[in-house]
Every structure is written in structure tokens, then in C-alpha cells.
Amino acid sequence: MKPELMKRMVKGPDGVEFEVEPLRDYFCEVPPTVMPAAYIKIVEDLFNWARAESIWILGFGTGCGAIEMRPLMTPRFDAYRYGVQWRPTPRQANLFIISGYLSTKTLKRAIRAYEQMQNPKYVIGLGSCTINGGMYWDSYNTIKRLDDYLPVDLYIAGCMPRPEALLAGFMDLKKIIRAGKGEGANQYAENFAWYKENQKRVIHDWDMPDYNW
Amino acid sequence: MDFDWMKIPYAFLTVFIVVNYGFLMTALIQKIGARVGRRYGIPIWQNYLDMIKNYGLRSSITHGAMFYLGPVFRLSGGVGLLLFVPSIYGSYMFSNLSFAGDLILALYFVFFGTLGMALGAAESGHPHAAIGITRGLSQVSMAELPFGLAVFSVALQYQTLSVTDIVAAQQGGMLTWTLFTNPLAVSAAMLSFLGSMMRPPFDVVIAPQEIPIGPPTEYHSSYLALMQTNRVIFPVAKIVIYMNLFFGGATSWPEFFLKVFLIYMWSAFVGVVFPRFRVEQSIRWFLVWAVPLGVLSIMVV
Ligand code: SF4
């Protein structure tokens, strides 16, 4: 663990000494819980419909596939007309697109970003690298199956997939959400121990709390 | 003081109409912006969907009391602004809670929301939020200055601080509008209008491409939905003030819709043509171009 994350005594500017334990003080350690759907079915249906029609993507690209997301904002593909928008902060995003290979270093950031997103949240694995490692299948520092680390709702195969494939993926994701099957966040909460175990197996310098709100 | 209780439901009705109108109009303006960029643009009802979705998110986390209050302050700033100026001149139903001297109160409300937001976002502890607030507050204060000057000039011109009286003085056809009787003040105010609408070229503070969207960085789910609601009320409320002060007010809802839309279009036009200013550039711009106009307008009056 890095020294700045250790428990230590700090002297404040006014001369008072106090104890700091970064992981305790700055983060909340409560593990994620399963959040039930709205009690009345018709309300949940309404929410699901709204969720499907207003997908906010976290603007975070991990591999080569990130380059395929940009054309979607341009006049040629214009994903905005399907209610798809990009948000710069994980707090406001609902969809996390892992766009290609994920090195273990990036995986750490991806996990943190994913955990900061709010409950119904979806993950799309873009490109064959997220499915089975793709052309990086024997690389020493990329992960092979994204599904072991984050709950994936949908894969878009190809190396690399065209923007059209992404648009088709959004359409499929909408169907999944509208059918009420986009419950990745709850799945993550249910199998939290399993996901953490897998994550910790590849991330050796684990220097963050187990769950980053 | 005799207070007419019937005004309260009417005021709610005003808010309701304005919220819906605001949702549709901002979407329409975004669509126009997209068409300029040769895109198809968002569906016109997208804002409703976004809002339902944000209210429908299952989890939300807080960073303390001020974090809750930020969006609430903001919303009350918008609603307050709307409620204390008459939206339809001469209509008992929609003159809202306006009273003599409400102009000062309105000016205060313009700023109120931003301050509340600043406090709330500061509590989120996110470094980007703090930077965003500093930049946002400095820009908004700078943009308000010409507007304040213009308002004083108009108040001097009509010798009153009541918005209703100012509108009443402009009811003699187009040429009695402040636009023609006091063009300097109006131009100063319209320049300041650009700055406070949070549209390009002055939207560096909340632009997604910059330091992640500034103050709202940490806001999500219902908080964000509250802020979205305010994002549509506030511009309309603000435009209502402009409309009342400078463009003769409105005597019916269709006229209201048309005028608000046209005034909004002014900032949309400028927005699609000009690239974004950095904060220090925009502050300098306001100082050089807008503030002298405002001072001049006061001197002329
Ligand atoms: S699937 Fe192909 S294009 Fe995508 S990240 Fe892997 S190697 Fe790159």
C-alpha cells in the first residue's frame, strides 16, 4: 500500500496533531446493496422506458474502440437523436462502455468509475478484446473476460466494430432495459464478493477501499 | 396588507405552464443548434425523459445538508424569480405576486440560485466542483454588472421600481418599448444576457468538454433532476424580466411564448456562431463592451 494511504499522525497548520486514516476518513466503506425495483409495476415500466430512451454514457474510453464512439456525435451518425448523450462524470452516467482492451491499470479506474455510477447502470463491452481478450489474448497485463470483473449487459463483437454496430448495440440495449433485464447493478451487489475476488486477483497493488462510492 | 389567497393557485399554474414551455423550448433550441451543425438533434420530448429517468434512479448519495440545499436553493431562485414578476401584463390570473419595488427583489433572485449552488457544490468536496464555482461565480457576477446598470437606468427612466409600472409605461405600441426609448440600456442588458444564459460563447463553466461540467459535477439522480427543472425555469423567468423591462411585456400567453422564444433565440444565434470564451476572456469582454454601455445609458438618462 502506498505510504500516503497509511494510517498516520498529521500536524495541522494550527499545531494540533491528529490522526488520519485515509481509507476510513475519505471513503465510505458500506458495500453496495440490492435496490428493489419500484413497488408498482406500471411505475417501474415507466421508469424503464425513460431509462431506455435517455441513455447517458460515461465519456471514458479504454482501448482502440474509444475512437469509434466519437463519430457517433457527428452529423453522420448522430446518436443524440436516439436519446444517447455523453456525460463527463460517472455520477450522472448510466452506461459505461468498455471500449476495447482493458489493462489491469485501467481496470482499477474502470472499477472506481463503475462503482460511482448510480443504480440502474449498464455496461457494454465493445470489441472482441472485452469478450475473450481478442488480439491481446496472451498479453501479460490485459484482462481477458470483462464479465469476470464487471457485470456486462451487452457485447458488441468486432475488431473494431463500426459506429453502426454501436448504434445497433444501443438499440438492443434499449430492448433489454425496457424488458426490465438491465439489472447489472443489482447483480454486482449480489455477487459482490465474487467480483471483488476476481478483481483483486489481477490488481496487485490494491490501494483503494473495497467499494468506492 | 390585504393578501389575495386566490393568487397562490394561479401562481402555481404559471409555474406549471412555464416548466412545460421551458422543457419544450430548450429542446427546440437544442434541435436548432443541432441543425446548424447538420445533425438531426434530440427528440423534442427528450428533456421529459431525462427528467423521469433521473427521478427514477434508485440510488443517490449525499455529502451533507448543504449538498441537499444546493439544488433546492437553485430551484427556489428560479421559481422565486418567476413568481415575483408579472408574466402576463394586465391579467389578474398571471400577474403573480408582483408588488411595488419588486425589481430589486428580482435582481436578488437572479443571484440567489448561483450562490446556493456554490455552497452545495463546495460541500461535495470535489475539487473540480470548487474550481467550477470560482469560475462560474466570477463570470456570472461580471455578466450581471451591465444588467444591473441597465436596470437602474430603466428604473431612473420610468421613475419606478415596480416591474408592472414599467410594463404599463410601454403599452403604447412598439415605439414605446424601452428598446427604442433607451437603446443603450437594452444593448448593455442584451450583452449581459448572453453571459448569464450559460450558452456558448459563455458556457465554459458548465461545458462538458471543460473541467468536468463545473458545479454540478457531483450531482446526480433526483438532485440533478431538480437542477434540470431549474435549468428550464430559470432562463424563462429571466427572459420574462427582460421582456417586461425592455420589450413591452406580454399581454397574452401566445405573445409571451413568442417573445420569450425570440429573446432566447438571440443567445442561440450568438451561440452557434461564436466559439467559446475562456473565463478571463469573457470577463474582459464584459468589462470592455458591456459595462461602458451600461454606464453610458445611466448617464444619458
Ligand atoms: S477489439 Fe480490436 S479494436 Fe477493439 S480494443 Fe481490441 S484490438 Fe483494439
Q: Which residue lies with its CA nearest to atom 3 of ligand 1?
A: A160
Is pLDDT at B56 greater than 70 in this prediction?
yes
Is pLDDT at B170 greater than 80 in this prediction?
no
Pocket of ligand 1 contains residue A100 by CB under 6 Å: yes
pLDDT digits 0-9 by tens, A94-119: 899 888 888 888 888 888 888 888 87
ipTM over 0.90: no
Closest CA relative to residue A100, chosen from A52, A136, A148: A136
- How many whole angstroms from A75 Cα to the centroid of ligand 1? 25
- What is the DSSP-derived secondary structure letter of residue A67? G
- How many whole angstroms from A79 Cα to the centroid of ligand 1? 22
Q: Residue B10, Cβ neighbours under 10 Å: how many?
A: 17
- The amino acid present at B93, given as its one-letter code, is M
Q: Domain residue spans in chain A?
A: 42-200
Write the residue in A35, A80, A88 that is nearest to B212 by C-beta.
A88
Q: Which residue lies with its CA nearest to atom 5 of ligand 1?
A: A100
Quote the cell numbers at residue B80.
422565486
Within A52-157, strands assigned E span 55-58, 84-87, 95-99, 122-126, 154-156
> Which atom, in ligand 1's list, is nearest to the CA of A63?
5
- B42-51, B166-175, B195-204, B218-227: range with highest mean pLDDT: B42-51
Q: Domain residue spans in chain B?
A: 7-300
SS3 A55: strand
The band of B5, judged by pLDDT with boundaries at 50, 70 and 90, is low
Which string of DSSP letters, residue by residue, matches B83-147? HTS-SSTT-STTSTT--TTHHHHHHHHHHHHHHHHHHHHHHTT-HHHHHHHHHHHHHHHHHHHHH
Tens-digit pLDDT string for chain A (213 aa): 667 677 777 777 777 777 777 666 666 667 777 777 767 788 888 888 888 888 888 878 888 888 888 888 888 888 888 888 888 778 888 899 888 888 888 888 888 888 888 878 899 988 888 888 888 888 888 888 888 888 998 999 888 888 888 899 999 999 998 888 888 888 888 888 898 888 888 888 777 777 766
pLDDT digits 0-9 by tens, B28-55: 887 887 788 777 777 777 888 777 877 7
Chain B residues at the A interface, defined by Cβ less than 8 Å, are 34, 37-43, 46, 49-50, 52-53, 56-61, 208-209, 212-213, 216-221, 224
Supply the pLDDT for residue B1.
Answer: 44
Q: Domain A42-200 falls in which CATH fold?
A: Rossmann fold (3.40.50)
- How many whole angstroms from A152 Cα to the centroid of ligand 1? 17
Write the residue in A53, A81, A119 that is nearest to B41 by C-beta.
A81
Pocket of ligand 1 contains residue A163 by CB under 6 Å: no
Q: B56 contacts in A (CB within 8 Å)?
A: 38, 46-47, 50-51
The runs of H, that is alpha helices, within B197-276 are 221-246, 253-273
Instruction: Indicate the pTM of the whole model.
Output: 0.79
Give me the mean pLDDT over the B154-179 stretch.
74
pLDDT digits 0-9 by tens, B206-251: 555 555 555 566 677 777 777 777 777 777 877 887 787 777 777 7
Residue in A closest to B41 by C-alpha: A81
Mean pLDDT for all residues in chain B = 73
Supply the pLDDT for residue B223.
Answer: 75
- Going across the sheet that includes A84-87, the strands are A84-87, A55-58, A95-99, A122-126, A154-156
pLDDT digits 0-9 by tens, B91-149: 655 665 655 556 777 777 766 666 666 666 666 666 666 676 777 777 777 777 888 88
